[in-house]
């Protein structure tokens, strides 16, 4: 294992941001930055020749400071959508900034993806990574309570990128953390992921309305375009989704916000059949958001202009808008409890 630091850029306030890179003995490497606790790179060695970048992102800080679709960001305090930017904590109505029409997306306009985290490298013979920490004060983006939060990225000699979250609070608050990586196993900038084969081991998904807010139903995937229980190309049934997949799948029926009651479970496999590059996803989270980059047209990353469906996201998380959906698993963290979640990305060459 090797760990490296290099200057990535400087914030408008004059704070230097370092790129922290971890490489294992097989040539796999990832890089993160403290701005947004962001995954900026995931390099997949082909066996010979140069490594292939399979994660969309930027080579300088400037791209992340501007508007972008959460490339590799740590998203919080509450990932996905909150209907009407409002929810109850007990009998008190809490309002948070609306940044997607009348709704709140990914913690608001200045959520965790727009904050500078503290970073600490750690390393060992078989595992090395970066530990990010920050304090989210009471009232940040309208959310109640001071939250002490940790996000840990690590790489093993078994070619596993592991992302772990831990948090504690001083008053009741909702929490839902995820990483918003955009994957293309054929190589970032290589074009559409519609030919990628996806297996998603979920019997139910979360139907949404025209604003992508859950209807409250958990619907079986049986006989629908949402069924990925057997591997199939992402594009096979996409025309039946009205623009693409942007839906949360239920992968753990029993999930708790404050402890890992759910076991680490294999939930998805993504493969580019042309190259044989693939990724298994295992997680303790209640759900996983399948997003096929339906609004990527007009965005740019290190490779240049991007188009619709040039990447796919598999965002392990709690169910969206859960604080407003009585039938969904609890997302409120209480003082004295510890929020813990873990997701593993296991890379392989078929």
Residue 180 designated active-site: yes
Beta strands in 188-263 (DSSP E): 197-200, 204-205, 219-220, 232-233, 246-250
For 140, the 3-state DSSP assignment is helix
* DSSP per position, 263-323: PPEEEEEEE-TTT-EEEEEEESSSEEEEE--TT-TT-EETTEE--TTS-BEEEEESPTTGG
Beta strands in 218-263 (DSSP E): 219-220, 232-233, 246-250
Neighbours of 210 (CB within 10 A): 6
For 83, the 3-state DSSP assignment is helix
**Sign of the torsion angle spanned by Cα atoms 183, 189, 194, 196:** negative
| CA torsion angle 181 186 190 195 (round to 10) | -100
Q: Which of 106, 180, 247, 309 is catalytic?
A: 180
Q: Which of 18, 140, 164, 315 is catalytic?
A: 315
Q: Which residues contact 277 (CB under 8 A, 6 or more apart)?
A: 44, 52, 54, 185, 186, 271, 347, 348, 349, 350
Residues annotated as catalytic are: 180, 315
């Amino acid at each position: 294992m090797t760990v490296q630091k290099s200057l990535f850029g400087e914030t408008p306030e004059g704070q230097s941001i370092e790129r922290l890179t971890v490489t294992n003995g097989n040539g796999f490497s990832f890089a993160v930055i403290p701005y947004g606790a962001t995954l900026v790179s995931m390099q997949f060695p082909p066996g010979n020749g140069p490594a292939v970048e399979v994660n969309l992102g930027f080579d300088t800080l400037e791209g992340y400071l501007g508007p972008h679709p959460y490339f590799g960001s740590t998203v919080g305090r509450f990932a996905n959508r909150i209907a009407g930017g409002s929810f109850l904590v007990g009998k008190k109505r809490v309002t948070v900034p609306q940044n997607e029409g009348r709704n709140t997306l990914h913690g608001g306009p200045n959520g965790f993806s727009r904050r500078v985290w503290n970073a600490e490298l750690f390393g060992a013979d078989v595992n090395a990574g970066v530990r990010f920490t920050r304090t989210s004060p009471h009232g940040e983006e309208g959310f109640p309570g001071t939250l002490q939060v940790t996000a840990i990225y690590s790489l093993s000699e078994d070619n596993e990128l592991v992302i772990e979250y831990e948090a504690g609070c001083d008053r009741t608050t909702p929490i839902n953390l995820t990483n918003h990586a955009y994957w293309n196993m054929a190589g970032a900038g290589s074009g559409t992921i519609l030919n990628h084969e996806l297996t998603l081991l979920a019997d139910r998904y979360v139907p949404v309305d025209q604003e992508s807010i859950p209807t409250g139903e958990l619907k079986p995937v049986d006989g629908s375009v949402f069924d990925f229980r057997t591997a199939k190309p992402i594009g096979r049934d996409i025309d039946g989704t009205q623009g693409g997949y942007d839906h949360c799948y239920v992968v753990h029926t029993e999930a708790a916000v404050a402890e890992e009651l759910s076991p680490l479970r294999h939930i998805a496999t993504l493969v580019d059949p042309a190259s044989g590059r693939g990724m298994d996803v295992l997680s303790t989270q209640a759900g996983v958001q399948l997003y096929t980059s339906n609004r990527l047209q007009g965005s740019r990353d290190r490779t240049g202009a991007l188009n619709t469906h040039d990447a796919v996201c598999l965002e392990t998380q709690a169910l969206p808008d859960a604080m407003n959906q009585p039938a969904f698993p609890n997302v409120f963290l209480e003082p004295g409890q510890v929020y813990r979640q873990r997701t593993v990305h296991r890379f392989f060459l078929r």
